[in-house]
Each structure stands twice: as structure tokens, then as C-alpha cells.
Amino acid sequence: MRMTRIVKLILENYESDNPGTKSNIARILMNGKLGGTGRLLILPVDQGYEHGPARSFAPNPEAYDPHYHYKLAIDAGLSAYAAPLGMIEAGANSYVGQIPTILKINSSNSWATSKDQAVHGSVDDALRLGCSAVGFSIYPGSDHQFEMMEELREIALEAKQLGLAVVVWSYPRGGDLSKEGETAIDVCAYAAHMAALMGAHIIKVKPPSVHVEQDEAKKAYKDVNLKSLSNRVSHVMKSSFNHRRIVVFSGGAAKDTEGLLDEIREIRDGGGHGSIIGRNTFQRPRDEAIILLNKIIDIYKGKD
Amino acid sequence: MRMTRIVKLILENYESDNPGTKSNIARILMNGKLGGTGRLLILPVDQGYEHGPARSFAPNPEAYDPHYHYKLAIDAGLSAYAAPLGMIEAGANSYVGQIPTILKINSSNSWATSKDQAVHGSVDDALRLGCSAVGFSIYPGSDHQFEMMEELREIALEAKQLGLAVVVWSYPRGGDLSKEGETAIDVCAYAAHMAALMGAHIIKVKPPSVHVEQDEAKKAYKDVNLKSLSNRVSHVMKSSFNHRRIVVFSGGAAKDTEGLLDEIREIRDGGGHGSIIGRNTFQRPRDEAIILLNKIIDIYKGKD
Amino acid sequence: MRMTRIVKLILENYESDNPGTKSNIARILMNGKLGGTGRLLILPVDQGYEHGPARSFAPNPEAYDPHYHYKLAIDAGLSAYAAPLGMIEAGANSYVGQIPTILKINSSNSWATSKDQAVHGSVDDALRLGCSAVGFSIYPGSDHQFEMMEELREIALEAKQLGLAVVVWSYPRGGDLSKEGETAIDVCAYAAHMAALMGAHIIKVKPPSVHVEQDEAKKAYKDVNLKSLSNRVSHVMKSSFNHRRIVVFSGGAAKDTEGLLDEIREIRDGGGHGSIIGRNTFQRPRDEAIILLNKIIDIYKGKD
Amino acid sequence: MRMTRIVKLILENYESDNPGTKSNIARILMNGKLGGTGRLLILPVDQGYEHGPARSFAPNPEAYDPHYHYKLAIDAGLSAYAAPLGMIEAGANSYVGQIPTILKINSSNSWATSKDQAVHGSVDDALRLGCSAVGFSIYPGSDHQFEMMEELREIALEAKQLGLAVVVWSYPRGGDLSKEGETAIDVCAYAAHMAALMGAHIIKVKPPSVHVEQDEAKKAYKDVNLKSLSNRVSHVMKSSFNHRRIVVFSGGAAKDTEGLLDEIREIRDGGGHGSIIGRNTFQRPRDEAIILLNKIIDIYKGKD
Amino acid sequence: MRMTRIVKLILENYESDNPGTKSNIARILMNGKLGGTGRLLILPVDQGYEHGPARSFAPNPEAYDPHYHYKLAIDAGLSAYAAPLGMIEAGANSYVGQIPTILKINSSNSWATSKDQAVHGSVDDALRLGCSAVGFSIYPGSDHQFEMMEELREIALEAKQLGLAVVVWSYPRGGDLSKEGETAIDVCAYAAHMAALMGAHIIKVKPPSVHVEQDEAKKAYKDVNLKSLSNRVSHVMKSSFNHRRIVVFSGGAAKDTEGLLDEIREIRDGGGHGSIIGRNTFQRPRDEAIILLNKIIDIYKGKD
């Protein structure tokens, strides 16, 4: 694997990590069609846990099969595939060595009575399954946010000592946050910043809206240009240690394909490192999904 | 590093600590422009966690970059730099050996629905990152105060066994405390005393006001001179094992520069060991910040 | 990384290993110019430990620098690079993610007074340095063989649980073995078989001679065709669980380039998986070494 | 699996073992054509380690393949299959659940310069590979006997805690023992007794000869009928806690088929629980081996 | 502490180490009169263990007091002070923070009946005592060399994980080595190389003589210029990963002051990083010792 200059520069930002962890970040950045560009596109499949199988897979029944997602991620030339323990176990041997995997280590579900998640995987699971990273969600704002952060602390330290990368899904919700506030620009930037402060190597946030949630923050945003999504993405990147951490954006609320692609152009122009897109891909037929993913890849390559 | 007489005297107060912990206290007391004077000036950058990146860094956008703070602390000749995990990780290698660092191990944030903090770092993190101390906040008075104190207990014991120093941010809040009470003289003195009792080597409190919060305490303060801030600081120092523990004071509420410098003169005259000042410095342009920090250093050196 | 059919078949032989270990075997089999062919070519640089730096590197003084070997292995398009702890530490960050590495975990040296080796690395080192495998030597026949096997047992179990591959250098020597016997066909086949029985994933042996060392074995070899090296390699492969384990052959005693290339043709024709060649490459000027390595690669590709 | 009365009675003898260990003994006693009879027939394949691959497998080259032995044991309807780590790893997945396996955990080899063995497997290996038991050899009489017994002690304790059975190969040799003494009746009985004393669940010894090795023992044997092998087997069984431990007998020195079958009839009549026969089976063509094994099974069933 | 460019370059060679370990290497390189020059001068006092107190300290009885050595190292402006556990414990508090210390973790003594050392300190001791590094001796060539290397392996891994540096005294002796061979150029270069391969950060060897000990090595040295000590030091540096590791030289056999200073000029000219000199200093009166040490410092500064 010949490292490109841009990937080398990104790796240099992880200056206190050991070569094991850097190898795994490199593996993700060098894989698939975006390999070497410094951009990345990840397929996450944890919706079955979060929303149940029917809501997740009935629109495209082939997606009930864990192998479907492995194959989709590989055939579309993605950077990595992220899923909870059982999904990884169900295909790790069949697709061994064909795509970097991220073991999503905690999840919520539709019946949760609290804004919290169950931790259901471990660093040892990730190692025995050949994963490159562990993934962990936090809900800043939730009544359980501190517990979640403390769980992350232990997993992240262990992962770093044993040479894995740490991906943090930072999704503000709960507590005093309004529904609109969950994607507010101040909230998204803050969420990315907190994940970086907790030692995340790769951060996942939602595309930020123009709304500013916190009254105390309004003054700070007076002179910040928030008009376009690319401006707002740029602000999130600045909040992620001034671009020193890899940040990927979720596909956001359901929208038509053109709306999604426009959004991705803005993420690219704002300096975002890439996207992590689940439902928007596996809920459509495989052929359409691959066409869509390739369009996204072309956008990140600057071809569109 | 030649130890001065005054630093030796301060170190003698930590009589049951091992030489490892004392080395790290000494490192902080001997570093920078105040090195050897027995006074210290620390740059803390955890506001991004506590208030979000925009409120913290928009006034001076260069401060979004973790390297900015390392460089500011080094160039201004400060005693130490304190920050959460990610901030330290992002610069620990570039600035290795150039300034003592304090790993701030817990934090709250703007969305907290309880007066508590998340523990997001560990003693092992501090060792692998070359830190001299771990920093920990407690909220005496909060409904979560006992949990926080019990977390501190474990971290402090481990830190002391492995030769690190323990810095405690003792910030009363929550429970029956009034807002005004958070900086009341009886409360600040009590907070410093509790931190000392819990085994802190360095204690951070807010500059105390003349208000006395607790009715039961009023009688005790009848004959104590609380008129000037220096009198009150002197009382806090007395409450900190009769000056046997290092106590530093935060910059307090936003005020003009002269107001800040006056406050520091009072802290000095009251026998406080120094200041720990974040927003007041990194939210202004670097040149102004360095001028301000040098003025503070001069005050502590007795030149002003 | 698209897995080829032949690599998939090889991986299937490791049927009780976890996907983590298989990923790392796959990484080696899919890397470099032989990637995907089911053959492999490894650069080992432990001669400095075994014979001292001058005997190893004086013929080509650039090779004193650990970066030289990383770069040679990468530029020549090899499958993996194997070396002791310090050599890997000295380049692991500079060449992160560019070539699979094998941490050689024990070594002898020129002054050894017993047929034994010092264990000087660990599975945790391999993980923090991002290695794909640990490498371990045993000396079947030596008075210390049982100790060495017992050290291997612990390291192999730990490596397999944490998803690493295990490479065993099986070099009979000592005890009642004659010097000639060290490369005897019965001895090499036996050595490969024992390594397989101890759970090695990749086995390194010397190219076997036509000599049969053990009197008790002579009868068994009566009907085995041992005439050509390729016949003998084929017998070693049969002894390695009937081709179910990857076996690579060392370069053997110093010989001219044509002699070496002929030997490699025979290894290929006998079904050997590849070569592990150190001195024969790094002791000549870099340009010549790369030409030689490319010739070997062409042979394994069946082009020569 | 319906437990027979005789198997229940045997299991009752293991009265201090936990249900996990008993389940595994039961699995072996209930498997194959002898399942439920209280007799057992085990295929051991560790000769490759002990004598090298050619001496072991050249007479029947299909036997080089680890799958051959799994298949032979399953197709012949045996009770269990015993082999070292690599042999089990190479087929454990393909034949999962089809036959109880015994992980042989230590071995000697042809080049050993001491009467000792290398420990090359562990209880954790046995668990991850789904084995029912671990197998361990001791050499009572050898200069290394105490080390071997101490290794056994640790492995047996761990195995029992984790619900595995322990099979002990008790083969006196070395020290002051004559070659003839290795199969002497006093020595075999003593060896079986020691294995029982060390906590073995299943004991393997050689068929005892009429020779009495120890002068001090001769008086004790004055009135014991040792004439026929069945008498001597009966004495060994008495020495194995008065038939409370399962004892199986090796095939002994090479002899013709009729000689072997006669020996087995005597073992049966003496109350031995069964046989463990390797070379006598896998060194002949598969068809002949299956015929032979079925004849042995018939003998143990009392049909012959 | 402002890092100089040359120290930064040296630290970059430790590319896989964490910032904690690098801080401690930096501490040594930035301390004392040679601080920032990339050279270093260490005072080791383990002769009491090795030769007994009278042989060590009778020539200068003040040296019986552990404080004497701390004070000498500090007053002379040395880089670090190295000693066994008790010596460090006896002064660590009095001289806390005044000089980096190296806890010498193993030692031999005059009554040793084998070429081995007792390990009498630990990484935890080093941390509680505020040491910057652990020091460990190996005797390549000795019958116990493999055990010593295996002890080093565990200590070095733990030290690196907890942010300490590792100093290795590599002193070939025992086995087949002649007395003259202990300082032979091939032997010293080999010893330095092995220490580097085992992961040492700082290596201590003896100044090499012109003698070549190993017959097999003579050819390799045919074209190496070994005439002057500076040539030979240069060869040792090349053997230490092509100058990528810090190497310091002992004072060698007793000689007059001018002889010692000449030797140091040669070490400097050959690119050695510095000296580690015990008896030559503490066995003379303090004033003379300080004059001598300052002369050595001047030489390393290039002033003489």
C-alpha cells in the first residue's frame, strides 16, 4: 500500500498515537475508490438495532442478510463497513481482509426508556474479528451523557494501547435540547469538539442546520458565516481541532437523491472528510445503491 | 534545574508524597518565567468542553487549533498547561518536554442536566502523554458531589502511587447553594479545605466574595477581616492547611484588564500561589494575551 | 482489497482461526507484487542480532540504517518485512501502513553458548507497532528445544486470541544432529511438520538436501523420490499437513545468483509458497537487490 | 443422547468432578459404535510429532492430511480422536461436532536429548477448539518426571475448573528403569495408579508383561496370578482405584493382526475399558483399517 | 524548557514511542550544562553493588554518603544520575526535581558465581521515585544472556507503556569471549546493535579497542578504518541504527586524566553522544572531580 501525501499529512495529526493505531486509520483511508484521497465513505448498518429489522430492511428484503452489506460495501468500493457485533461475526470470515471493519460497540433501540445505549461489544471482540476500529455513540445532552462518556474513556484507552482506531458517533439529544437543536450548528460543532476532546480519531456528526440552539452561543456566531451548508461544515471542521481530526457526516434526514448529492457537495466544499451513509443506500435496490454510492465517490473525488 | 529555597519549602509541605509526585510538583514550580518564585501561572483550556468551541474560540479563531494553546503557554513562559485528553493528544508530541502538562480528567458541558461531570481520561493516559499531573473537578454541594469525590479518590490514589501530582478544581454549586453563595468566602474557604482534605496537591478555587452563605458560619466570621480580597484570599490560604497546600485562583467573571490585574495583586498580597486563567487570555489576540500574561507574571514577581 | 480465489482457498485451510488472524494472513498474501498469487516473498533482517552488524551490513553500508530495509521491502514490492523489536520501532511510524510487518520475537547471537534464543518481544509490542504477525524460532533437536516450544505455546495462544498470525522459523540443530543433518530431507520435513503441529500459520524451513539423517527414517524414504530439490520441497509440503500450511524457504547457503534463482524455481515447482531471503538481498547494492527480488517475483509468478 | 445404566455407573465414580467435566466424559463414552457400552476405542495421531512425518505416514500417504484422521475416526465409529494442536486446528471446523476430540498437549520427538516433553497446547486451546479433554504424557521414572507431573497438575486443575476431562498417558521410562521394565506388570500397575492419584479421568498405559521389575515388589506379587494378559490387565484395573477410573491400553509393539486382536480380547476379559490404537490403523490402507477397527469394536461388544 | 533543533532531531528518531517516553528522553538531553547540545554526561554509581563499598568509596570517604553523588551530579551540571534502588531512595526527596535520575534495576556483585545479575528494582519504583528512565545491564555472551534479555523484555515494555525511557548497559562477557574480546571493536559494535534491537533508547558500551575478536567477523572489518578511537566510535554509532539511537561510553579502564580526556575527544569526534563516568569522578576529591567533569563538558561542547 503506497501512502499518498495527503494521507501522510492526515496521519501526522495523530501525533501521540502508536503505529498500530495509525496503521488502522491508514487502512481505512487507503481502502476502496477513495483510497489515498484523504476522503472516506463508510457504510454503517446499525439501524436494525436502533429501529428493528422490518423498518430497516423491509424496503429492500435482501438487506436482511448480513452478507448483503459486506458485499455492498466491497462492491461499491467504500472505505469501511461499520456494524454491531453479530453483523460483523456473521460475515467476518467470508469477507476476511476485503474491507476494513468498524465494530460498533454500543446501541440504543426503539424500546429504550432512557437516552442511553447498551455496550454490547469489546476491544477483544474487535481484535478477534480483525476490525480496524471500534465505534461508540455518545448522546451529549442526555441525562446519561456522563455515563456514556465514561464507558467511552475505558474503551478508547484500551483500543489505543492495542493499536485500534476509535470512531465516535456524537449525537446530541435528550435533556434540554429541542428536536431542532439536535442538528443546530452550535450543537453539531460542540458535539464534534467534545468527541475530539475525548480522544476520538474519527468523528461522526449530522450535517448542521443554520439554527443556533443556545442563547449563550448566539453572540459567538454573530460574525460566523453560516449561510451555506459548506460554511457550516467548515465551522464544524474548525471546531474539530482546526481540521486535525477526521470528521464524517451522516446522510441526515430522508431526502431525494439530488438533495443528498447536493448536501455531499457542500460537505466536500466545507472540507468535511466524508460521509457515513446507511439507510439512504441499503434501503434501495442494490444496483441503485451502487450507482448512488459511485456518484458520491465522484463528488468526493472532485469530479462532480 | 536548581531548586530555589522557596520551592524547597513548598515541597516540604508535601511530606508524605513520594519523590515522583514531588518531582512533578517541582517541575511545575520551576518552569517558565515564575520558575523558582513559589508562584505559578497556569493556562487551562477546557472551555471548549464546558461551553462549546464557538463561545470559546470564535473571539480569536486561531485558538481553534490545539497547537495554539501549547505555543501560547510556552511562549508566554507559563508554569503549566491544562487541558482534556484530545487537546493534549493533539500536541503532546510536537511540544514534548517544553511545558509541564496537566491532564484534565473530567468535564461538564453546557447541556448537562445534572451538576456532575464525565470522567474522560485516566492516569495511564497521563503517563503515556508525559503529563505532570491529573486535574479533576468536584462540585461540593451538588447532588452528585459524593460520586465525584469517590471518583477523585481512586484517581488520586493511583496518581500518587505512580508519581503524578493531583490538581483539584473545587467549585461549589448545586444543592442548596445560592448562585451568590458559589463564591462566598465561607464557601470558597470550605471548598479549598475539602480539596486539601481529599489529598489534592494543587487546589483551584474562585476568588472569594465578601458574602457569607451559611447562617451557621456567620458567627465564626464575625471577627475575621474580610474587607479586601487580599484578606479573603489570606483566609482561604489559612483554610488550606495554613498555607501548606498550593492554591491557585481562577480569573473569575469577565472584567476589564485593569480589574483583572488588581484582583491578581490582591491574590498575591493575600498569599495565593498564583492564577489559572483561560478565557481572559486565549480569547484575545495572541500579542495582547502575551502582554497580559507578562503583566500578571510581573505582579507575581512583585515588580508591579 | 479484492481477495483472489487462490488466496481464499489458502485461508480456508486455517479453519479454526478467527477472522482477525485470517485478516493478517490475508494482508501478507495480498500485499506487493505477488499479492493474490498465493506465493509470497519476505525480507527478514535479524542477521544483525544473529551475526553482528558488521558481518551483516558492512558489505552494503546503507543497510546499517533501519529505514533502508523498510524502503527496500516496500520498493521491491515484497509481501512482508520481518525484524526484531528495535528495527521495527525505528521505522514503524515512518512507513506506517505501507507493508505488513512480522515482529521477530526471539533471537540467538554469535556468542550463544547454548542452542537457545532470547525472547525479546511480545504480542503487545506487535499490536502497538501495527504488526500482522509474530515470528518465533525453535531449534528442534537442541537441548533447549522443549523450553523454546513452551515459550512458543504461550506466545502463539495469545497472538491467536488477539488476531495476529504466527510465523515459526523451524531450524533443527544441536543435540545429536550432525551439521549435514540440519538440512537433511527427513529433518526438514520433520521440522516443518512439528511447526505445523504446534499451530504455526506460516512455517520457515531451509531448502532440504538429499541426505537422510535418521537411520530409523531411511526405510520410510525408500520409495520417496528425493532426486530433485522440487521433489524434496514437495515432500516438505506434504509433511506440512498435505499443503494445508504456508511454507516458505530460506535462501540457504551463499551461492551465485543463478544458483539462487534455480533453487527458487525448484521451490516453486515443488509447491513451496515462497521465500524469505535476507542476506542475499540486503548485502548487495540496492539496485542489484531490487533486480534480484524482481527476478524472484517473476519466477514465483511463473514468468521464468 | 440417552445415557445407559453402565455409563451412569462409570460417571458416578467421578464423584467430585463438576457436571461440565462429567458431560465431556459422557460424550466420549456415548459416542460411536461403542457408545453406551462402557467401552471405548480412541484414535491417537501424535506419531508425526514423536517420530516425524515420513516414518508415520509414508506407509499410507493419504495420512499426511489431517482431515484423513478425522474422517477415519468418524467413519469407523470410534469414541474419540486425540492429536496435538495443529492437527486439531486443521480439521476442527470441518468436522465440528462429529466426534469428541482430545487435545494432546505435550509431545517428545526423535531428537529429544532428555526424557521429557514439550508442552505445546493449553486448556484455552482445547476450549476454543471444542475438545472434550486434554491429553498429557508423563514419564514416571525419568529425571524430568517431577517437572512433568507439576505441569500436569496445573493443566489438570485448570481443565477441571473449566469442565474438561483429563487423559493421562502414563509411560514409565528413563532413570533406573530397564527397557524390559517399561512394560513390567508392577511398573504398569504403578504407572496407572500414579495417574489416578494425580487426578486423571482416563488413563492410558501399555499392556503389561509378566516381568516384575522391582525387587522390593516381588514379594507382593508372589500370590498374584499374572499368567495371562487378562489377569495382568485385571491387576492394573484393581490398581486404578479398584476399577473406578477408565483405563485404556495402547496397541503395544507391532504384531500381526491376529496377535493384536487376541491382546484386545484379553484386555476386555481383564476388565480394561478399551484401546487407543494409532499406527496399527492409519499405517494401513483406509479400507483395511476400518475392517480392523470394526473387529476391535466387535470384540469390545462381546461379539467375538 | 525550550527544545533545541538538535534535540528535536534526536527525539524524532524515537518514532514509535509515546510522548511520555519522549519527554523523559528530552529531560535528560535538556538538563545541565550540556542541555540542548545533543550530548550528555551521566554519573553512574553502582560500583558499591558491584565491588563493595570500601573498594568503591574508601579513596574518597565522603562518597559513602548517597547525598554526595546527587550533589556532585547537580553541582557539576550533569545530564542525569544513575544508581540502584537504595541510592535513589536515600536522596530522591532531598534533591527532588534537581536532576533526571535513572533507576539501575539490576546488578551483579563480587560474590557472583555466575555471569548474571539480580533484578532489584521495578518500573513502579522508578515512577514513585520520579525517575526519568530505568537502566538495565545485559551480558551478551554469558551463559545467562538469554535470561537477562528476557528480563529486559518485560521491563522495557512496561516502561514504554508508562512513559519512561530505557537505558541498556550492554557489556559482553562470559562464555567464549576472551578478556581482551570484551572491548573488541566487533564485540562493542555488536553489543550496541543488540541493545538497539531489543528496543533500548539509550545504550551504554565500553570504548572499543582495535582488536577484532571473532574470526568470522575479520573479513567484514577488512575495509573498515579502525585506526583511531574516533573511527571505532563512529563504527559503533553506525551499528546503533546508523546514529538513530543515543549511545554513551563508559570511562573504560583506569588511566590518567589526560588519557581520559583524549578518549573523550575521540568519542566526540566519532559522533558518540556522551559519556557515563563513575569511578573516575567520585573516587577523587570533589573539587578535582568537578574540574574534571567541566573539562569533559567543555570537550563535548567543542571548546577543547
CA distance C245 to C238: 10
In this complex, do B55 and A220 lie within 8 Å of one another by their Cβ atoms? yes
Asked if pLDDT for residue D52 goes beyond 70, the answer is yes
> Could E96 and B3 be called an inter-chain contact, meaning their C-beta atoms sit closer than 8 Å?
yes
Q: Are the Cβ atoms of C149 and D122 closer than 8 angstroms?
A: no
Give CA A135 to chain center in angstroms: 8
Higher pLDDT, B232 or D115: B232
Give the start-end residues of each E strand in chain B.
Answer: 40-44, 80-84, 101-104, 106-107, 118-119, 133-138, 165-170, 202-205, 246-250, 274-276
Counting one residue from chain C and one from chain E, the pairs whose CB atoms sit within 8 A come to 137
The pLDDT value given to residue E10: 98
List chain E residues with CB under 8 Å of B96.
Answer: 3, 11, 19, 22-23, 26
Name residues whose C-beta falls within 8 Å of residue C278's C-beta, 6 or more positions apart in sequence: C43, C44, C45, C46, C47, C251
Q: What is the pLDDT of residues A223-263, one digit of tens each?
A: 889 999 999 999 999 999 999 999 999 986 667 899 999 99
Question: pLDDT by residue (tens digit) across B233-267?
Answer: 999 999 999 999 999 999 866 678 999 999 999 99
Q: Exposed/middle/buried for C290, CB within 10 Å: 0-12, 13-18, 19+?
A: middle
C95: distance to nearest CA of chain A, Å?
9
Q: How far is CA C23 from the centre of its chain?
A: 19
Helix axes E229-239, E185-197, angle to 10 degrees: 30
Q: Which of B68, B95, B171, B300 is catalytic?
A: B171
Query: SS3 for B231?
Result: helix
Q: Do B91 and A223 touch (CB under 8 A)?
A: no
What is the C-alpha separation between A8 and A2, in angstroms, rounded? Answer: 10
Measured in angstroms, the CA of A119 and the nearest CA of chain B are apart by 16
Put residue A250 in one of left, alpha, beta given phi > 0 → left and psi -120 to 50 → alpha: beta
pLDDT digits (tens, 9 = 90+) for E275-287: 999 999 999 999 9
Q: What pLDDT is stored for residue A252 in this prediction?
A: 67
Indicate if the pLDDT at residue A114 is higher than 90: no
What's the average model confidence in pLDDT over B2-12?
A: 94
Single out the catalytic residue among D49, D95, D171, D300: D171
| A93/C27 touch (CB, cutoff 8 Å), yes or no | no
- Interface partners of chain A (CB pairs < 8 Å, 3 or more) are B, C, E
Distance CA E100, CA E97 (A): 7
| Active-site amino acid positions of E | 171, 204
Give the gap in angstroms from C-alpha E114 to the nearest C-alpha of chain B. 34
Residue among A27, A130, A131 minimizing CB distance to C97: A27
Separation of alpha carbons D154 and D148, rounded Å: 10
pLDDT for residue C223: 87
Quickly state the pLDDT bin for E252 (edges 50, 70, 90): low
- Work out the mean pLDDT of chain E and round it to a whole number: 95
Nearest CA to C240 out of C189, C276, C206, C204 is that of C189
CB contact under 8 A, A18 and E16: yes
**How close B98 gets to chain E, by Cα (Å)?**
5
Q: Which of A49, A68, A95, A171 is catalytic?
A: A171
> What does the pLDDT look like over A115-126, one tens digit per residue?
889 899 999 999
| For A162, nearest residue in chain E (alpha carbons) | E161
Instruction: For an interface test with E, give the residue of A16, A22, A157, A160 to mutate (most E CBs within 10 A).
Output: A16
Cell representation of residue B258: 485593569
Q: How far is E241 from chain C (nearest CA, A)?
A: 5
Do the chains contact at E130 and B23, CB–CB below 8 Å? yes
Closest chain C CA to residue E225: C58
In this structure, are residues A18 and E18 in contact, taking their beta carbons and an 8 Å threshold?
yes
* Tens-digit pLDDT profile for residues D60-71: 999 999 999 999
Asked if C90's CB is within 8 angstroms of E241's CB, the reply is: yes
Backbone φ, ψ for residue B104 (5° rounding): -75, 120
Q: What is the per-residue pLDDT across E32-66, written as a single tens digit (0 to 9) for each?
A: 999 999 999 999 999 898 889 989 999 999 999 99
pLDDT (tens place) for every residue of chain C, 304 residues total: 678 999 999 999 999 999 999 999 999 999 999 999 999 999 999 999 999 999 999 999 999 999 999 999 999 999 999 999 999 999 999 999 999 999 999 999 988 888 899 999 999 999 999 999 999 999 999 999 999 999 999 999 999 999 999 999 999 999 889 999 999 999 999 999 999 999 999 999 999 999 999 999 999 999 889 999 999 999 999 999 999 999 999 986 667 899 999 999 999 999 999 999 999 999 999 999 999 999 999 999 999 8
pLDDT-derived band at E294, boundaries 50, 70, 90: very high
CB atoms within 10 A of CB C251: 20
Q: State the DSSP code for B2.
A: P
* pLDDT-based confidence at residue A111 (cuts at 50, 70, 90): confident
- Check residue A122 and give its pLDDT: 95
The confidence score (pLDDT) of residue B153 equals: 95
C300 three-class SS: helix
* CA dist., res. E73 & res. E95, Å (int): 11
Share above pLDDT 90 across residues of chain D, in percent, rounded to a whole number: 91
Contact between residue C139 and residue C174 where contact means Cβ atoms under 8 Å apart: yes
B70 is catalytic: no
More confident residue, C237 or B1: C237
Catalytic residue list contains A171: yes
User: Helix (H, G, I), strand (E, B), or coil: what is residue D160?
Assistant: helix
Q: Please give the pLDDT value at position D41.
A: 98
Residue E72's pLDDT is what? 97
Closest residue on chain E to B98 (Cα): E1
Q: Which grid coordinates are listed for B185?
A: 468566602
Collect all residues of chain C within an 8 Å Cβ-Cβ radius of residue A131.
Answer: 20
What CA–CA distance (Å, rounded) separates E21 from E166?
9
What pTM did the predictor assign? 0.94
Q: Closest chain E residue to A17 measured between Cα atoms?
A: E18
In the predicted structure, residue A1 carries a pLDDT above the cut 70 = no
